[in-house]
């Protein structure tokens, strides 16, 4: 009999093997297909396109090496200081081994904060690519407004502000000045990454995939420090989630702000409860 486990969604479920991801086409292809079929439901068209093309769990081709640097632990955004509520989940016994950690993170990838962050990143990238300052500002305001707790807002703002500041100081390009003039106050982390990548002309597919992998790797690193898993199991968790991250990245490339939404209540509650956790290593 297989063991049941807690997940970030808040229910219990029997662990399942991850399904292979399905490729998505470009947003242009989605709109063309919508017109050709005469259908009004853009979400069903997106789903059809993804199901048409199955390319395994391979990352997008030609990921820009700058992304490896910008999203690595050496880039000074302070990601190591945040557990995204995982520390509280570990204390409560919701996440205590490799299987539970994998299930928790898979929920965040498919149905939770990472899914939303990828949509925000994609929208910010498109706004900068189109030189639409109003849209960029609106995306950032929405990303900040939808943070479920004070600590999660701190997490995204601290990293977002640091990311843009470091990019301007060490990787300057002309379009970054416009971005920083538009986003004068606090910036959500995915918005900063999307806007910065677009200013540098980096293709959106690679940005989304690299951002997702960095998110997973950072929380797995937190899990090691919380003694949930060891180093080898940590790598197994990351490897098992790569297909889900690839699928989420392809979905986000087609998504609009109308697709924002999450269903990971337990994770959100963990971020709230962490604010009063007595003994803690992390800021969230």
Q: pLDDT 10s per residue in the chain (284 long)?
A: 444 455 776 654 444 433 333 333 445 555 555 555 455 565 555 555 555 544 556 667 778 999 999 999 999 999 999 999 999 999 999 999 999 999 999 999 999 999 999 999 999 999 999 999 999 999 999 999 999 999 999 999 999 999 999 999 999 999 999 999 999 889 999 999 999 999 999 999 999 999 999 999 999 999 999 999 999 999 999 999 999 999 999 999 999 999 999 999 999 999 999 999 998 899 99
Q: How far apart are CA 75 and CA 163, in angstroms?
A: 8
Alpha helices in the chain (DSSP H): 27-37, 42-52, 65-70, 86-92, 98-111, 113-129, 133-145, 150-170, 174-182, 189-199, 204-225, 231-254, 265-273
Average confidence score pLDDT of the chain: 87
Contacts of 41 (CB under 8 A, 6+ apart): none
> Would you state the torsion angle of the CA atoms of residues 151, 152, 155, 161, taken in this order, to the nearest 10 degrees?
-110
What pLDDT digit, counting tens, does each position of 13-54 carry?
444 433 333 333 445 555 555 555 455 565 555 555 555 544
pTM, entire model: 0.82
Helix (H) / strand (E) containing 12: strand 12-13
**Do 20 and 246 touch, CB atoms closer than 8 A?**
no
Residue 13, SS3?
strand
Give 54-89 as a DSSP string. Answer: --TTPPPTT--HHHHHHTSTTSSS-GGG--TTHHHH
Q: What is the SS3 assignment for 5?
A: strand
């Amino acid at each position: 009999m297989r063991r049941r486990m807690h997940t970030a969604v808040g229910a219990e479920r029997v662990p399942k093997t991850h399904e292979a991801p399905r490729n998505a086409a470009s947003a242009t292809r989605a709109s063309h297909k919508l017109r050709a079929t005469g259908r009004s439901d853009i979400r069903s068209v997106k789903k059809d396109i993804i199901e048409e093309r199955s390319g395994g769990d391979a990352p997008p081709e030609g990921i820009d090496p700058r992304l490896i640097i910008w999203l690595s632990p050496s880039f000074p955004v302070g990601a190591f200081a945040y557990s995204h509520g995982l520390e509280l989940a570990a204390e409560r016994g919701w996440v205590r081994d490799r299987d539970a950690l994998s299930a928790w993170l898979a929920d965040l990838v498919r149905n939770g904060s990472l899914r939303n962050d990828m949509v925000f990143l994609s929208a910010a990238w498109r706004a900068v690519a189109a030189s639409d300052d109003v849209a960029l500002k609106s995306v950032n305001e929405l990303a900040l407004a939808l943070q479920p707790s004070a600590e999660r807002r701190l997490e995204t703002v601290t990293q977002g502000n640091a990311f843009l500041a470091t990019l301007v100081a060490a990787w300057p390009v002309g379009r970054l000045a416009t971005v920083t003039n538009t986003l004068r106050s606090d910036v959500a982390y995915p918005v900063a990454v999307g806007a910065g990548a677009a200013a540098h002309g980096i293709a959106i597919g690679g940005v989304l995939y690299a951002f997702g992998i960095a998110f997973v790797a950072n929380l797995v690193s937190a899990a090691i420090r919380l003694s949930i898993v060891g180093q080898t199991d940590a790598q197994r968790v990351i490897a098992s989630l790569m297909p889900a991250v690839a699928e989420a990245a392809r979905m986000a490339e087609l998504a609009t702000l109308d697709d924002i939404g999450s269903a990971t209540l337990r994770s959100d509650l963990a971020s709230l409860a962490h604010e009063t956790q007595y003994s803690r290593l992390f800021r969230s």
